[in-house]
Amino acid sequence: MLPLYDTIRARSFPFINIALIIVNVLVFFYEITLGVDIDRFMLYYGIVPARYSNPFIAAKFTLLEQSVPFITSMFLHGGWFHLIFNMWFLWIFGDNVEDRMGHFRYLIFYLLCGIAAGAMHVLTKWHSDIPTVGASGAIAGVMGAYFLLFPFSRVIVLVPVFFFPFFFEIPAFFFLGFWFLMQFYGGYADLLGVAGEFANIAWWAHIGGFASGMVLVFFFKKSKRNYRRFYADEFFPW
């Protein structure tokens, strides 16, 4: 079930959302130029839980060096599909959230969600020595905020059935709720050790990002009073 677009438009230009997409793309192009040095780059700037859980490894890094990956990791990606899917979700859901928060608030919100997602990943993969990268944790936070801000907006999704494309218009709360349940199912399977080939997906980073977005939105959203003239009331249940 691939989202294509939502049915509401932002009333302000999403400067920060577009800037985030551009930065992610530029960083990925830089990654491509690294060649054989990419593994070292990922180990240093990605989140590696063992760097925090193993005291012998942790002793080799300063506090600043240990803190930096919680920011840098959310701008790194492991491949074209990883980048494209993340940026596509950010493009669909980010502009309206930025509109409700304001540009600077949205940037801080985005970064905090990414940090929370990284922290959740470290806690749930405590001894892993595999670097985790990607903007999906921060984007999950954006989706969590969208889930509360615009639950009754419509999302147009593509569902392929036996190679035939079918298009459906569904409420945002249904699409995002289903997405969250899939992450929770994957995270639970991962904790049980039965996730198989999907064990390398940062399920709990997604869950942590989504949950943090649902909490932080209350502190970063602007009053809905000034938005009723632009958005239909049905988008504001609270």
Give the HSE-up count for residue 192: Cα atoms under 13 Å, Cβ half-sphere.
Answer: 9
Question: What is residue 46's predicted lDDT score, i.e. its pLDDT?
Answer: 95
Question: What is residue 225's predicted lDDT score, i.e. its pLDDT?
Answer: 58
Question: What is residue 227's predicted lDDT score, i.e. its pLDDT?
Answer: 56
Question: What is residue 192's predicted lDDT score, i.e. its pLDDT?
Answer: 80
Distance of CA 124 to the CA centre of its chain: 17
pLDDT one digit per residue (tens) for the chain, 238 residues: 789 999 988 889 999 999 999 999 999 999 999 999 999 999 999 999 999 999 999 999 999 999 999 999 999 999 999 999 999 999 999 999 999 999 999 999 999 999 999 999 999 999 999 999 999 999 999 999 999 999 999 999 988 887 788 888 999 999 999 999 999 999 888 888 776 767 778 889 999 999 999 999 999 998 765 555 455 544 444 4
Question: What is residue 119's predicted lDDT score, i.e. its pLDDT?
Answer: 96
Question: What is residue 228's predicted lDDT score, i.e. its pLDDT?
Answer: 54
Question: What is residue 214's predicted lDDT score, i.e. its pLDDT?
Answer: 97
Number of structural domains the chain divides into: 1
Question: What is residue 183's predicted lDDT score, i.e. its pLDDT?
Answer: 93
CATH of the domain at 42: 1.20.1540.10
Q: What is the pTM of this model?
A: 0.90
Question: What is residue 122's predicted lDDT score, i.e. its pLDDT?
Answer: 95
Domain that holds residue 156: 2-235
